[in-house]
């Protein structure tokens, strides 16, 4: 290995400064006959997260799990507290032996943050044993289903009356399907111990894609089946008379995988105007790529009494949350069932399931602890939010490698960077998540490779489920920083919103809609060139 390919970015910066200082003329180009190959400006950039970038773990499975390098001592302490809390495994309330860790559920998807964001990255893709045609999601699953009722018409302007275009909750269920439960979550718990609102099964539908050179890639798409809903346990979608609210034909469902949680504070610190500058909702430049902003309900603004609690959506697969704070604490309350100061009510409050659970068990799990406080207090919640805001972005690897450099050129040539926007500069001051931002996040030149906007990605990827202003075909551009370390962090991780792509090549081949031309052009490349694109992505 070339030693210098492993050296920190700072070395290159310093070398650049030093060479300049050593008197080298910067404009001494005396060989006009040598053909020049133009590489994009980001080809050799190593510190994708600016000063926050980590180098000591950027080659290994620890690459997503280190604090930003530029935190103060106090900030580092808060980050480390959040780190510990991120791994807390919650138990059923009441748990007299461990009261500070109870409050799980009563229905939920996982018992801790780490299970859906394994080592701060993506979750493992569910696998089927040799004799299985489908697998039931259990405690090993980091994936779940979002659910909602199909709207009568497209919601284009959010108002208080239409809940700002929020997904319409499924009566007696909500907008997220909780497939797990505490022991007695259901009235029929003796036959359905630890089962949540319904059982969810996953299977795969497969097809193949062939390049002109004869190489074939097998693609898989996860299919869901929902059974055993708590409101009608014997019914299935095929039943003659479907009474369950969940199994109605107008209930929309879509998979959601856990996402990496590093670099999120930097993404939130991108000036809103910088993101909106790339919006081209009607494709006025006729390049086949639109780019739309999602405008979403902002629980922080609502709690602060804002008359119009709507903000630019940035996080989630459809950019349906505005901040790390809303995203993290929403997941704490939703995915795990731990209420907190921003979301003090259980997510299933008011449903038959919750009512019957409280009545039947006499358990105190109304979302409040014995002191009438939310299950996670402000200190716990704030530390988890800060942790996710300040996990460092890993440095790139192998930037001097010829294939990596050629791959960068092809990335540009294929127009990938039209949506995977390479770079932004974060704002110099202001708030994130309703609180003053850490100095560590300010004025950083970052390379997330995302425009943070929504794009129609075609029918193949569509879940048909609108989410605020995002329609059923749209997804927010996924940042690519760190993506080359994904399976170093978790070898079972998959790509895209449901983990369907086992490799980055598969992920590219799923790109349709606005990205179809780029995919078509990628398929026209030679095998070596395709490998170069992969080499570039793996260096990120």
Partner 1 sequence: MRFNYTVISLALVATLSACGGSGSDSSDTETPTVGFSFAATDMITNLTDDVIVAGYADLAAQGDALLLATQTLLTSTSQADLVAAQNAWKAARQPWEQGESHIFGPVDSLSIDPHLDSWPLNTTDLQTQLANSSGFDADTIKGWNDDVQGFHTMEYLLFGDGINSNTKQIADLTTKEREYLIALAEVFRDYAVQLDDAWQVSYNPQDTNALPYAELLKTSGDANNAIYSSELAVIEELINGMIGIVDEVGNGKIADPFGESLATADTSKVESQYSWNSLTDFADNIIGVRNVYQGEFTGSTDKTGLIDFVAAADAELSTRVASEIEDAISKIQAISGTTDMPFRQAILDAEGRVRVQTAVDALSTLQASLESDVLPLLSEWNS
Q: Under the rule (CB under 8 A), what is the footprint of partner 1?
A: 1, 3, 6-8, 10-11, 14-15, 18-19, 21-22, 54-57, 59-62, 65-67, 69, 76, 84, 89, 91-92, 94-95, 97-98, 101, 111-112, 115, 118-119, 124, 127-129, 136, 138-140, 180, 182-184, 190, 193-194, 397-398, 484, 487-488, 490-493, 503, 538
Closer CB to partner 1, 6 or 516, in the complex: 6
Instruction: Kindly state the smallest distance separating residue 283's Cβ from partner 1, in Å.
Output: 35
Burial of 473 (0-12, 13-18, 19+ CB in 10 A): buried
- Report how many helices (DSSP H) and strands (DSSP E) the chain contains, helices first: 13, 16
Of 202 and 247, CB closest to partner 1: 202
Least separation in angstroms between residue 383's CB and partner 1 is 15
Q: How many other C-beta atoms are found inside a 10 Å radius of the C-beta of residue 120?
A: 24
Q: What are phi and psi of 484, to 5 degrees?
A: -70, -15
Q: Of 132 and 162, which has the nearer Cβ to partner 1? A: 132
Q: For partner 1, give the closer residue by CB, 228 or 321.
A: 228
By CB atoms closer than 10 A (0-12, 13-18, 19+), residue 101 is middle
Q: What is the residue-wise DSSP string for 340-356?
A: -SSS-S-TTTTSHHHHH
- Whether 269 contacts 477, CB under 8 Å: no
Which is closer to partner 1, CB of 14 or CB of 277?
14
Q: Please tell me the distance from the alpha carbon of residue 241 to that of residue 370, in angstroms, as a whole number.
A: 43
Least separation in angstroms between CB 129 and partner 1: 7
Please give the structure tokens belonging to residue 349: 């409050």
300 vs 168: CA distance, rounded Å: 21
CB 423 within 8 A of CB 447: yes
Contact between 79 and 67 (Cβ < 8 Å): yes
Q: Which is nearer to partner 1, 444 or 490 (CB)?
A: 490
Integer Cα distance of 156 and 150 in angstroms: 15
Q: Which is nearer to partner 1, 13 or 281 (CB)?
A: 13
How far apart CA 110 and CA 143 sit, in angstroms, is 9
Q: Indicate the SS3 state at residue 135.
A: strand
Listed residue (503, 8, 539, 476) closest to 219, CA to CA: 503
Using the 8-state DSSP alphabet, how is residue 54 labeled? B
Select 71 or 289, whichever has its Cβ closest to partner 1.
71
**Minimum distance of partner 1 from residue 487's CB (angstroms):** 5
Minimum gap (Å) between residue 193 Cβ and partner 1: 6
Least separation, in Å, of the C-beta of 515 and partner 1? 23
Nearer to partner 1, 67 or 448 (CB): 67
**Residue 162 Cβ vs partner 1, minimum distance, rounded to whole Å:** 38
Among candidate residues 446, 447, 444, 436, the one with its CA nearest the CA of residue 536: 447
Residue nearer to partner 1 on the CB measure, 14 or 215: 14
Closest approach of partner 1 to the CB of residue 123, in Å = 9
Of the candidates 206, 287, 213, which has an alpha carbon nearest to the alpha carbon of residue 530?
Answer: 213
Q: How far is the CB of 157 from partner 1 (least distance, A)?
A: 43
User: To the nearest whole angstrom, how small is the minimum distance from the Cβ of residue 81 to partner 1?
Assistant: 11
Rounded-to-integer distance, Cα 537 and Cα 444, Å: 22
For partner 1, give the closer residue by CB, 66 or 347: 66
Query: Residue 74 phi/psi, 5° resolution?
Result: -65, -40
* Alpha helices (H) in 237-392, listed in sequence order: 264-268, 272-276, 299-303, 324-331, 352-361, 378-389
Q: What angle do CA 472, 272, 163 make, to 5 degrees?
A: 45
CA distance 227 to 347: 21
Query: CB of residue 42 vs partner 1: minimum separation in angstroms?
Result: 19
């Amino acid at each position: 290995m070339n030693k210098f390919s492993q050296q920190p970015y700072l070395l290159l910066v310093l070398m650049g400064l030093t060479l300049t200082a050593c008197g080298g003329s910067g404009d001494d180009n005396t060989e006009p006959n040598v053909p020049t190959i133009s590489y994009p400006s980001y080809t050799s950039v190593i510190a994708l997260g600016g000063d926050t970038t980590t180098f000591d773990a950027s080659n290994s499975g620890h690459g997503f799990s280190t604090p930003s390098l530029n935190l103060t001592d106090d900030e580092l302490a808060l980050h480390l507290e959040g780190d510990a809390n991120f791994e807390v495994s919650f138990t059923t309330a009441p748990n007299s032996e461990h009261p500070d860790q109870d409050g799980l559920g009563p229905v939920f998807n996982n018992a801790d943050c780490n299970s859906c964001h394994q080592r701060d990255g993506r979750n493992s893709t569910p696998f089927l044993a040799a004799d299985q045609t489908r697998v039931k999601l259990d405690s090993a699953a980091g994936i779940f289903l979002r659910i909602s009722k199909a709207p009568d018409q497209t919601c284009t302007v959010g108002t208080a009356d239409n809940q700002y275009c929020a997904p319409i909750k499924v009566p007696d269920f909500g907008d997220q399907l909780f497939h797990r439960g505490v022991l007695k979550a259901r009235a029929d718990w003796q036959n359905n111990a630890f089962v949540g609102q319904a059982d969810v099964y996953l299977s795969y539908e497969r097809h193949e894609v062939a390049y002109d050179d004869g190489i074939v890639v097998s693609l898989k798409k996860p299919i869901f089946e929902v059974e055993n809903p708590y409101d009608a346990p014997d019914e299935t979608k095929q039943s003659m008379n479907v009474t369950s609210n969940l199994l109605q034909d107008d209930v929309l469902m879509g998979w959601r995988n856990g996402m990496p949680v590093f670099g999120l504070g930097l993404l939130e610190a991108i000036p809103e105007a910088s993101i909106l500058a790339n919006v081209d909702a009607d494709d006025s430049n006729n390049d086949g790529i639109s780019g739309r902003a999602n405008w979403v309900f902002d629980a922080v603004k609502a709690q602060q009494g804002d008359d119009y609690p709507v903000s630019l959506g940035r996080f989630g697969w459809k950019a349906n949350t505005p901040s790390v704070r809303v995203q993290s604490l929403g997941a704490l309350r939703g995915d795990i069932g731990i209420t907190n100061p921003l979301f003090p009510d259980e997510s299933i409050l008011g449903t038959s399931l919750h009512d019957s659970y409280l009545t039947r068990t006499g358990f105190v799990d109304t979302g409040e602890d014995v002191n009438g406080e939310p299950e996670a207090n402000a200190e716990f919640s704030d530390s988890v939010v800060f942790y996710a805001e300040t996990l460092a972005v890993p440095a790139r690897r192998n930037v001097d490698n010829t294939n990596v450099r050629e791959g960068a050129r092809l990335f540009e040539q294929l127009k990938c960077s039209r949506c995977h926007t390479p770079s932004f500069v974060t704002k110099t001051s202001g708030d994130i998540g309703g609180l003053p931002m850490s100095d560590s996040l300010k004025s950083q030149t970052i390379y997330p490779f995302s425009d943070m906007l929504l794009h129609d990605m075609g029918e193949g990827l569509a879940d048909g489920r609108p989410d605020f202003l995002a329609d059923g075909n749209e997804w927010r551009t996924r940042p690519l920083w760190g993506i080359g370390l994904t399976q170093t962090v978790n070898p079972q991780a998959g790509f895209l919103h449901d983990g369907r792509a086992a490799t980055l090549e598969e992920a590219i081949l799923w790109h349709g809609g606005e990205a179809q031309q780029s995919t078509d052009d990628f398929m026209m490349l030679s095998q070596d060139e395709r490998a170069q694109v992969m080499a570039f992505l793996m260096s990120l």
